[in-house]
């Protein structure tokens, strides 16, 4: 129904898990949460068709949505967790061979750029991380040469996992597969804001860290409370050293591990059943 469902190849992963074509996944009749969200699953200004289902990762977005008077929620678990079910060994290396930090710069999007003190952030990364550092830039920053070169000149390996897609075009359906391979090679995952990538990394055994200049995003809607609210509600996930047990418990909750569906139920819920 909505092109957001294709972001990062998430509907493709769900189709594959359900035993269907993952190159051209069937229409998902509703809205699929595409990233970790501190609100009701989507940005505050997102528009919905009346009566459409809202498929969220965990029960917390559903509860927050109900508090706002919104209905038609169904909790299904994060597509990332279904990918882990499909690819239990992709990119895996022996635990003692994992090294370094996969560091995610908080990113903008097609409609808003980030701004902040990159040089100061680089100094803090170098002071904190003890092994090799790989900087992951979203394509909106990777294509901004003035940002990319800050990190290249600092001696970091700078990578980009591709594009999430827009209006059903340009979606790299291997986006999350490539991330999974990278996470499983690294010992730590870090970012300057608590965001989706931190939870993905924790789910496959990375030690998390959240520190540094959180940057400003042009046009960022303050309705959900932003960085201040994140630090208030998820303090256990903030810092250069985070308790791994607490991080794993929070990650399982936020990604909705307890809500994963069997393939048959997913096909029924999404109306993906075969018809005579």
Look at residues 252, 231, 131, 237 and name the one whose alpha carbon lies nearest to residue 188.
131
Which residues, at least 6 apart from 187, have a Cβ–Cβ distance to it below 8 Å?
98, 99, 100, 101, 131, 206, 207
Return the residue matching tokens 């059903």: 168
pLDDT band at 207 (very low <50, low <70, confident <90, very high): very high
Average pLDDT score over the chain: 92
Give Cα 148 distance to the centre of its chain.
Answer: 21
| pLDDT for position 18 | 97
| pLDDT for position 47 | 77
Q: What's 95-251's CATH class?
A: alpha beta
**Gyration radius of the chain over CA positions:** 18
Residue 269: is its pLDDT beyond 70?
yes
| pLDDT for position 111 | 58
- Please state at what angle helix 145-153 crosses helix 118-128, rounded to 10 degrees: 30
When comparing pLDDT for 201 and 228, which is higher? 201
Q: What is the pLDDT of residues 12-69, one digit of tens each?
A: 999 999 999 999 999 988 999 999 999 888 877 777 777 889 999 999 999 999 998 8
| pLDDT for position 50 | 75
Return the residue matching tokens 């630090």: 231
Residue 162: is its pLDDT beyond 80?
yes
pLDDT band at 108 (very low <50, low <70, confident <90, very high): low
Q: How many other C-beta atoms are found inside a 10 Å radius of the C-beta of residue 177?
A: 20
Residue 276: is its pLDDT beyond 50?
no
Q: Work out the percent of the chain whose per-residue pLDDT is above 90.
A: 74
| pLDDT for position 2 | 77
What's the whole-model pTM score? 0.94
Query: What tokens appear for 167 in the block?
Result: 């209006």
pLDDT band at 118 (very low <50, low <70, confident <90, very high): very high
Q: How many other C-beta atoms are found inside a 10 Å radius of the C-beta of residue 97?
A: 9
Q: What is the pLDDT of residues 62-83, one digit of tens each?
A: 999 999 888 999 999 999 999 9
| pLDDT for position 208 | 98
Instruction: Please state the three-class secondary structure of 177-196 as a single string.
Output: HHHHHHHCCCCEEEECCCCH
Tell me the domain boundaries of the chain: 3-87+256-269, 95-251
Average of per-residue pLDDT across 238-246: 98
Q: With contact defined as beta carbons under 8 Å apart, do 85 and 171 qualify? A: no
| pLDDT for position 109 | 65
Task: Give DSSP secondary structure letters for the chain.
Answer: --GGGGGGGHHHHHHHHTTS-SSSPPP-SEEE--S--SSSSS-TT----TT-EEEESSHHHHHHHHHTT---EEE---HHHHHHHH-SSTT---GGG--SEEEEPP--BTTB-EE--HHHHHHHHHHH--S-EEEE--HHHHT-HHHHHHHHHTT-EEE------BTTBS--TTHHHHHHHHHTT-SEEEESS--HHHHHHHHTTPEEEE-S---EETT--GGG-HHHHHHHH-GGG-BSS--HHHHHHHHHHHHTGGGPPPHHHHHHHTT-----
C-alpha span between 90 and 95 (Å, rounded): 14
Q: What is the pLDDT of residues 166-181, one digit of tens each?
A: 777 888 999 999 999 9
């Amino acid at each position: 129904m909505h092109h957001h469902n294709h972001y990062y190849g998430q509907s493709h992963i769900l189709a594959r898990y359900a035993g269907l074509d993952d190159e051209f996944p069937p229409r998902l009749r509703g809205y699929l949460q595409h990233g970790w969200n501190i609100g009701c699953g989507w940005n505050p200004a997102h528009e919905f068709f009346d009566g459409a289902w809202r498929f969220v990762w965990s029960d917390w977005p559903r509860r927050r949505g109900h508090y706002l008077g919104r209905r038609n929620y169904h909790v299904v678990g994060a597509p990332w967790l279904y990918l882990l079910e499909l690819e239990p060994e992709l990119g895996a290396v022996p635990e003692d061979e994992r090294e370094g930090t996969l560091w995610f710069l908080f990113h903008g999007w097609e409609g808003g750029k980030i701004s902040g003190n990159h040089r100061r952030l680089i100094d803090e990364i170098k002071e904190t991380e003890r092994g090799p550092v790989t900087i992951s830039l979203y394509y909106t920053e990777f294509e901004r040469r003035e940002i990319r070169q800050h990190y290249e000149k600092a001696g970091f390996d700078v990578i980009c996992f591709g594009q999430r897609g827009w209006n059903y075009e340009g979606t790299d359906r291997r986006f999350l597969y490539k991330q999974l391979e990278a996470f499983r090679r690294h010992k730590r995952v870090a970012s300057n804001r608590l965001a989706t990538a931190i939870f993905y990394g924790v789910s496959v055994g990375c030690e998390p860290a959240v520190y540094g200049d959180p940057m400003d995003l042009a046009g960022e809607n303050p309705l959900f409370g932003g960085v201040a609210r994140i630090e208030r509600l998820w303090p256990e996930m903030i810092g250069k050293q985070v308790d791994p047990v607490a991080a794993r418990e929070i990650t399982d909750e936020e990604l909705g591990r307890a809500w994963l569906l069997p393939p048959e139920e997913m096909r029924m819920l999404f109306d993906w059943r075969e018809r005579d």
